[in-house]
Amino acid sequence: MTQPLDFKRNTAVGLDLGLVNGIKVNRNAADRRAASLANRRTVKKEYQAAWLVRAIECMDLTTLSGDDTPGRVERLCMKAMRPLRTDLMQALGLERLTTGAVCVYHEMIQPAVRILEGRLPIAAVSTAFPAGLSSLETKLREIELSVAAGATEIDIVITRQHVLTGNWQALYDEMVAYRQACGEAHVKAILATGDLVTLENVAKASWVCMMAGADFIKTSTGKEGVNATIPVSLVMVRAIRDYYEQTGFMVGYKPAGGVSTAKSALQYLTVMKEELGNEWLQPHLFRIGASSLLTDIERQLEHYVTGNYSAAHRHAQP
């Protein structure tokens, strides 16, 4: 994960149960603010093109399918290193552009390593993704094996029952163990927000994971019935903002699952800019987990350059 030399990585600060238990979320107010952000008139023309390029730079280009093959992952990696056609790059005045990372299962790390050769971060989903329902020993060993195989980022899934039963100490201890197993690899904590029932649970889980040293908090595995939403994102990024004000640590944010259009990517960029500021609109603090999003962004950028929309099938698929 490329980051400024003076960036201070989040570390475990200790579990403050009084703070966690005191968290309240005004659902109506959160929904109103989320609606105002989602419905805001978006940027246009060259400004929109610049935002879409930034979305590419902050994308975890992902394949997490049961029928993944080394060949598919190799194509994904080549697309990640060259996400736009040469003519579009030239028209936009870009000399170099890559996605933020690629995201794969453990078994697909080696094909990614062969193609990327250290040029891009490799994120591996871990800890019995997507349900997280195996022993802690098994999950920690999976992290260790993924790091040894070449993963530089680990996307873990929390045990949802800890949130649903209010066992914040268990969630904290689990997250601390995951962070330690990752070593130098950065860890993204997937909250699976669609399973957490309430926005208060989302806020509390966000705080506990950050207190335990998570480098990123992430909405979803992409496999839940409900994945990334603007209200959930608002709650999570405000938790990040408050955590930064209290501790001085900047934690990243990753919406994932269902972010498939350029319009939705712009909405999440808007949330980040409005709630956290431009400093968070960088790949070391913001990622979008996506598989099909890149195709729509490329279509929108082609329209900006040529004035015409192309069919999605004309754009290379990873």
Q: Compute the mean pLDDT over every residue in the chain, rounded to the nearest whole number.
A: 95
DSSP code per residue over 243-267: HHHHH----EEE-BSS--SHHHHHH
Query: What contacts 73, CB < 8 A, 6 or more positions away?
Result: 63, 102, 104, 108, 111, 112, 115
What pLDDT is stored for residue 26 in this prediction?
A: 95
Answer whether 0.75 is exceeded by the pTM.
yes
3-class secondary structure for 209-246?
A: HHHCCCCEEECCCCCCCCCCCHHHHHHHHHHHHHHHHH
CB 209 within 8 A of CB 189: yes
Separation CA 56–CA 59 (nearest Å): 5
> Which residues belong to the active site?
155, 218, 254
Which domains are assigned to the chain? 17-305 (3.20.20.70)
Task: Please give the average per-residue pLDDT across 145-162, as a whole number.
Answer: 98
Could you read off the pLDDT of 221-260 as tens digits, one per residue?
A: 999 999 999 999 999 999 999 999 999 999 999 999 999 9
